[in-house]
Structure 1
Amino acid sequence: MDDEPLTEWAERRDAKIGRLRALPLLPGDGPRAGHVNPEAPRLIQRWNGHAWEPHAFAANLAEARRILHPAAHEAPAQAPVPTPNPLRAGTGKHRKPQTPGPNER
């Protein structure tokens, strides 16, 4: 058999420690998919290497996503982009040359 070494398995298992997941808090065997009831409260659980343990509580799906993926919800720091002005005078070949007015000759 091709068994992997125990050290590789332990590294793979330890890489998952600290992973978070959100479970909807619904009575009974209701739907467990997160998108089905976005307003339901969520329990955030953390993997400790052996079992999922309670970590936090979120009021709805949007708040749970902010907890699970904080980097995705931060606004990127960018310099302000200048607004384009498509009606400015240009020199492109699609522009017609400006004809002088009657008082400019």
Structure 2
Amino acid sequence: MDDEPLSEWADRRDAKIGHLRAVPLVPGEGPQAGHVNPEAPRLIQRWNGHAWEAYGFAANLAEAKRIQYPDSKIETPAQGPGPAPKPLGPGTGRHRKPQASGPERR
């Protein structure tokens, strides 16, 4: 078995110190995916090399991302309706249902 030297393992562990993660504060078992319930408040946790410790608080996912990634320019979605979806163009694509014609059209 090829064991890695302890110094390399320690270097990898120390490289992660200070990493932040946002955990939704919702009832349930443990952390969930970040995209679930984006309006829920978030606890910001920091890795100290041994365990995740409380670091801060955010009101929602967008604010949590601003805390986690202060140098990046995260755009928040514009409020209001977006552009209208384009209807399907003409054609008989592989998965399209044939168009009914006449009065029996639903």
- DSSP 3-state at the match of 1:53: strand
The 5-angstrom pairing of residues 80-99 of structure 1 reads none
Equivalent-residue separation in structure 1 for 2:38 and 2:30 (angstroms): 13
Gaps of 5+ in 1: 75-105
> Is 1:16 matched up with 2:16?
yes
Q: Which amino acid aligns with 2:39?
A: E
Equivalent-residue separation in structure 1 for 2:49 and 2:30 (angstroms): 28
Which aligned segments of 4 or more residues in structure 1 are displaced greater than 4 angstroms?
none
- DSSP 3-state at the match of 1:9: helix
TM-score (norm 2): 0.65
Task: Please name the residue that 2:35 is paired with.
Answer: 35
- DSSP 3-state at the match of 1:44: strand
Task: Please name the residue that 1:25 is paired with.
Answer: 25
Equivalent-residue separation in structure 1 for 2:12 and 2:28 (angstroms): 34
Task: Please name the residue that 1:93 is paired with.
Answer: none
Equivalent-residue separation in structure 1 for 2:3 and 2:31 (angstroms): 38
Cα shift at 1:28: 2.7
Q: Which amino acid aligns with 2:66?
A: R
- DSSP 3-state at the match of 1:45: strand
Percent identity of equivalent pairs = 77
- Larger mean Cα displacement after TM superposition, 31-40 or 18-27: 31-40
Task: Please name the residue that 1:48 is paired with.
Answer: 48
Equivalent-residue separation in structure 2 for 1:36 and 1:43 (angstroms): 14
Cα shift at 1:35: 1.0
